[in-house]
Amino acid sequence: MKQDLKIALGQASSWGLILLLPILGNFLFLASARADSDSNLTIEVDGIKNQSGQICASLFSKSKGFPSDSEKALKSECVAVTETPQKLTFKNLKPGTYAVALIHDANGDGILNTNSFGIPTEGFGFSNNPLVLTGPPKFKDSAVFVAGSNTDIQIQLQYLLGQ
């Protein structure tokens, strides 16, 4: 009788393990899928002075090129100014650290125009809204962490010469 009980318990625990494996596998798959899932970064641009031109944003995943070399950006896009605040979204990003530089390209020429002293004559802004006194911020000062299905940030435009 004891031997029959040991065999029955051994078979029961084997069946329990067999039934439990698919459930554990599903949990592991869901956890890994969530860690590797793509994220969106939605940016609300506040402080737009007028609805002329476009908002151009560059997304950087590292400091090289940030903030002025859009050729080194991971993604760049321009959208016509249609509302205040203006929203734009960078889609399908891997979870990680990014920084955004943007301009209000009021005349639509695709660049941040400056005066003869190099002072911007159009609006500009950066993720994390760092204080800009004597030059552009460093990547680390503008870095934001993107994770989950969507990360929302707000960027306040700055106009140094009032345009």
Which sign does the torsion angle of CA 105, 137, 46, 90 carry? positive
Sequence letter at residue 51: Q
* pLDDT tens-digit map of 42-90: 999 999 999 999 999 999 999 999 999 999 999 999 999 999 999 999 9
Q: 144: how many CB neighbours lie within 10 A of its CB? A: 15
Output the pLDDT for position 145: 97
Structural contact between residues 157 and 45, judged by C-beta atoms closer than 8 angstroms? yes
Structural contact between residues 126 and 63, judged by C-beta atoms closer than 8 angstroms? no
Structural contact between residues 54 and 108, judged by C-beta atoms closer than 8 angstroms? yes
Burial class (CB in 10 A: 0-12, 13-18, 19+), 28: exposed
150 contact partners, CB below 8 Å, separation of at least 6: 39, 40, 41, 42
Is pTM beyond 0.95? Reply is no
Phi, psi of 36 (to 5 degrees): -100, 0
Average pLDDT value for the chain: 84
* pLDDT tens-digit map of 117-136: 989 999 999 999 998 888 89
Residue 124: both structure tokens together:
């500009």
Output the pLDDT for position 107: 94
